[in-house]
């Protein structure tokens, strides 16, 4: 739990969400991260597949817009939410914590071609899928600012990795 908290602190420090920002949290789980982004003042939308996790997220972050289902099935709602209020001048931010299979190709395409967040914090549990996804993100105009490994499960070969990415040309 201490290392997970440290990883979330690092993600929040990098993303710097605030009242003018819209933050999409994919694979949001039970709402721990949603709560954190809401407490920063950001407008937040989360997507989670697991029904029990969604129910917990509704309790933990009731102010967030929460969608249940596969992330790829929620692309239309995510896009509409990001585009609400055409004169909105805030930043788009993305936090992802996908399963071992990584980000689906459709989510990667949506991220790079439609959502185009200024900053992405990507917490990965698989070095292989992270590498594959980072290749797409960096080829699409994102630069890696920092990579931090976290040994959430001591005594095993599993290592979580937090990657901070910034869209090139943004501050």
Catalytic residues, which ones?
125
Name the CA radius of gyration of the chain, rounded. Answer: 15
How far is the C-alpha of 33 from the C-alpha of 31, rounded, in Å? 5
How far is the C-alpha of 29 from the C-alpha of 49, rounded, in Å? 8
Q: How many beta carbons lie within 10 A of that of residue 146, not counting itself?
A: 12
DSSP strand pairing (92-96 vs 65-68): unpaired
Q: How many beta carbons lie within 10 A of that of residue 34, not counting itself?
A: 28
């Amino acid at each position: 739990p201490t290392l997970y908290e440290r990883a979330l602190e690092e993600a929040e420090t990098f993303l710097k969400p605030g009242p003018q920002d819209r933050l999409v949290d994919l694979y949001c789980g039970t709402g721990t991260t949603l709560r954190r982004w809401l407490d920063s003042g950001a407008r937040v939308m989360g997507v989670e597949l697991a029904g029990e996790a969604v129910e917990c997220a509704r309790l933990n972050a009731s102010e967030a817009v929460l969608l249940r289902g596969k992330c790829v099935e929620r692309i239309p709602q995510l896009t509409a939410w990001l585009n609400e209020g055409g004169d909105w001048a805030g930043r788009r931010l993305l936090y992802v914590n996908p399963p071992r299979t990584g980000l689906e190709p459709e989510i990667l395409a949506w991220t790079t071609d439609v959502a185009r967040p200024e900053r992405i914090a990507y917490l990965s549990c698989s070095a292989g899928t992270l590498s594959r996804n980072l290749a797409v993100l960096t080829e699409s105009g994102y630069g890696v600012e920092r990579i931090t490994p976290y040994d959430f499960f001591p005594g095993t070969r599993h290592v979580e990795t937090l990657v901070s990415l910034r869209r090139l040309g943004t501050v």
